[in-house]
Amino acid sequence: MASQEEVFKKLVSHCKEYGFVFPSSEIYDGLAAVYDYGQNGVELKNNIKKYWWDSMVLLHENIVGIDAAIFMHPTTWKASGHVDAFNDPLIDNRDSKKRYRADVLIEEQLAKIEEKINKEVEKARKRFGDAFDEQKFRETNPRVLEHQKHFDELHQRYSDAMNAMDLEMLKQIIVDEEIVCPISGTRNWTDVRQFNLMFSTEMGSTADGTTKIYLRPETAQGIFVNFLNVQKTGRMKIPFGIAQIGKAFRNEIVARQFIFRMREFEQMEMQFFVRPGEEMQWFQHWKEFRLRWHKALGLGDNKYRYHDHEKLAHYANAATDIEFEMPFGFKEVEGIHSRTNFDLSQHAKFSGKKIEYFDPELNQSYTPYVIETSIGVDRMFLSVLSAAYHEEQLDGGDSRVVLKLPPVLAPVKACVMPLVKKDGLPEKAREIVNMLKFDVKTTYDEKDSIGKRYRRQDAVGTPFCITVDHDTLNDNCVTIRYRDDMRQERVPIESLHGIITDAVDMKNLLRKL
């Protein structure tokens, strides 16, 4: 069995080799934590975005979309708190010269302790078999209790330090826990410093007339500043939501792990405006709906978990993450936040405009509360790909790499292949492409043996291969080959359109929500 790290490395090189993801400006050796999506990547990404957009805007009468600009008035970021508080605590190791997020180093330490406890539990489970009482074991085993005590104390110190943003305390925790740099293995740390994650640039042409502006670090603020525009012009009644998909930029300190943490990435965010006091029931609603959205893809229910936040952002009164089991562990893919009326109130204060909603049922005006669902397209892309990537041993000593992508997300839905490049078979195959291409992304391949062509399609996750042979010219039937079980079936050409469009129809997925 390959280690998880090896699997991840293979996935990264697979992404490049098959046109999913390339390092940005690679001919100049790339740009750290910036990536380009290739010919297959862009299709997969667009399908993910469509699934999200349709699940929000198409399925909900009371959710509409917008597309706000990346540049925003600089006061936006003062009001939102990003100028003053969008910081990560960073620390450098003097020997490796590598930079880390102090909070991440401590969280990894907490995860290690948790792992030790879980190992003890698993060992005992094996030893005691059916008679094993896990709860009792956790409450009484001296080694587990010792680890748990360590965990609780560390966790408390860490939460205190983060809530107060006490940088000295964070450093002290790293020293006390004897955390070492994974690269140099030493404890030669600098002090912890604050680092603002926003990119800035100048707008305007003359030296005097320029204004410093930021590249948005989240898409949400474009929704907040348009709250009144959309509410009034769309005659929206609370509760209602505004959805948006767009780029966001963060000058991440630790930008490893491929497209998991990028400096330029894409978010799909929805802000749902509700009556004050009703936010907790809507928070619960969206938490459940979003998990259903993920699970409907069929990547494996056990690959998801919620992670409730203990340290809440300055604006939030409840927050949870949906985590996905990546090749490097459970990681956040999406955040669901109850943001109170913080953002709208702040924008009202900084702009001097009244940003309120008149509720005809209550006959009163108020500043709505907000539930936000915020998911990274790129992280979603990575989770889909890592669940889909399979290396399989086949009969006869052969092997294949196959992306078992949900057909609705696959970049290419069907590939049509003439058995040979002559005798009218290519022409017949082209006819089939022309029949399918209006509904599904279809490709044509006549090069190499059929076996090799199948492997190429497996590697990009094409759910259907269609082979045209000499008999086709007489009986108008073709061989359809299914990606996952490699089953082959002879079917009439007229039935192809129905078989394929039905299997890749977004409606079937949306109906599960």
Interface positions with ligand ATP (CB under 6 A): 218, 250, 252, 261-262, 265, 267, 332-335, 374-376, 378-379
> Which residue, 430, 220, 436, is CA-closest to 316?
220
Tell me how far, at minimum, the Cβ of 335 lies from ligand ATP, in Å: 4
CB closer to ligand ATP, 132 vs 306: 306
- The rounded distance, in Å, linking the Cα atoms of 387 and 442 is 24
Tell me how far, at minimum, the Cβ of 259 lies from ligand ATP, in Å: 7
CB closer to ligand ATP, 231 vs 374: 374
CB closer to ligand ATP, 55 vs 374: 374
The answer to whether the Cα torsion of 325, 331, 337, 343 is positive or negative is negative
- The rounded distance, in Å, linking the Cα atoms of 278 and 290 is 19
> Which residue, 201, 197, 181, is CA-closest to 189?
181
Tell me how far, at minimum, the Cβ of 34 lies from ligand ATP, in Å: 10
List, in order, residues 6 or more apart from 64 with CB less than 8 Å away. 57, 230, 234, 236, 240, 241, 242, 243
CB closer to ligand ATP, 262 vs 432: 262
CB closer to ligand ATP, 138 vs 295: 295
Hey, is 237 helix, strand or coil?
coil
Degrees (nearest 5) of the Cα angle 45, 48, 52?
140
Tell me how far, at minimum, the Cβ of 111 lies from ligand ATP, in Å: 14
> Which residue, 32, 24, 161, 149, is CA-closest to 91?
161
CB closer to ligand ATP, 225 vs 262: 262
Distance, C-alpha 225 to centroid of its chain: 25
CB closer to ligand ATP, 110 vs 124: 110
Tell me how far, at minimum, the Cβ of 97 lies from ligand ATP, in Å: 22
At residue 425, what is the residue type? L
Tell me how far, at minimum, the Cβ of 382 lies from ligand ATP, in Å: 9
Residue nearest ligand ATP, Cβ-based? 376
Tell me how far, at minimum, the Cβ of 423 lies from ligand ATP, in Å: 51
CB closer to ligand ATP, 107 vs 505: 107
Q: How far from 415 is each of 17, 208, 441, CA to CA, in Å? A: 19, 58, 9
CB closer to ligand ATP, 2 vs 32: 32
Tell me how far, at minimum, the Cβ of 84 lies from ligand ATP, in Å: 16
Tell me how far, at minimum, the Cβ of 315 lies from ligand ATP, in Å: 11
Regarding beta strands 304-308 and 318-326, do their DSSP bridges make them parallel or antiparallel, or are they unpaired? antiparallel
CB closer to ligand ATP, 52 vs 282: 52
Regarding beta strands 464-468 and 414-418, do their DSSP bridges make them parallel or antiparallel, or are they unpaired? parallel
Tell me how far, at minimum, the Cβ of 146 lies from ligand ATP, in Å: 30
List, in order, residues 6 or more apart from 408 with CB less than 8 Å away. 47, 51, 504, 505, 506, 508, 509
Sheet-wide strand order for 193-196? 99-101, 87-92, 193-196
- Say which residue the tokens 């030493």 belong to: 186
* Per-position DSSP letters for 319-372, written without gaps between them: EEEEEEEETTEEEEEEEEEEEETHHHHHHHHHH-----EEETTTTEEEPPEEEE
At residue 62, what is the residue type? N
